[in-house]
Amino acid sequence: MCEYCGCQAVETIDELTREHDEVVRLISLLRPAHRDGDLSRMTETAREIAGVLGPHTRVEEHGLFPAMAEDFPEQIAALEAEHRRIEAVLDEAADGATPSDPAWPDRLMEAMAVLRDHILKEQDGVFPAALAILSTEQWEAVEAVRTEAGGTSCRPAA
């Protein structure tokens, strides 16, 4: 997605992109589970997605987004609102129990469609823009947040 601009040469962007790839892979597992009515599998996959998104979102919202908010205030606010919407649905499965709301599976699938579009916005817009506008000091601040937040060890398969 983002390879055309070279922003994956920046380690944090590369890690964020790999996390996006892992989330997309996990979303692909939700479709058959939803079709089959396998709520247990949907719940577990939702928890896995939330596990990837936890540190990922922290890096974006405490590192990358603040550095970009002055230049792109509306876009950053919209992305953060999407984070809250997605998190709200995923949080319903956080305790490991299958959510009791019979509408949850459909709401989860809707939230995952939002997440897929959200990922495209970040990879095709935010990441290349960050490469163009962030200073060395801002990148260092983003890297510090990544170090603090940790990662999800999403590494390509060998």
Identify the weakest region by mean pLDDT among 42-51, 64-73, 127-136, 149-158.
149-158
Mean residue pLDDT across the chain: 90
Please check whether residue 22 is in contact with residue 155, taking contact to mean a CB–CB distance below 8 angstroms.
Answer: no
For residue 70, the 8-state DSSP code is T
Output the CA torsion sign for 107, 118, 18, 53. Answer: negative
How confident is residue 9, by pLDDT bands cut at 50, 70 and 90? low
Amino acid letter for position 121: K
Residue 136 corresponds to which tokens in the numbers above? 């060395």
pLDDT for the residue 48: 97
Mean pLDDT, to the nearest integer, of 57-67? 96
User: Is the pTM for the entire model greater than 0.75?
Assistant: yes
Report the alpha-carbon distance of residue 33 to residue 87 in Å, rounded: 20
Of residues 130, 152, 153, 1, the one with CA closest to residue 66: 130
Alpha helices, H only, the chain: 11-36, 39-59, 65-68, 73-91, 104-121, 127-133, 136-149
Contacts with 93 (C-beta within 8 Å, 6 or more apart), sequence order: 42, 43, 46, 47, 50, 99, 104, 108
Q: Are 24 and 116 in contact (CB under 8 A)?
A: yes
What are 94-107's pLDDT values in tens digits? 988 899 999 999 99
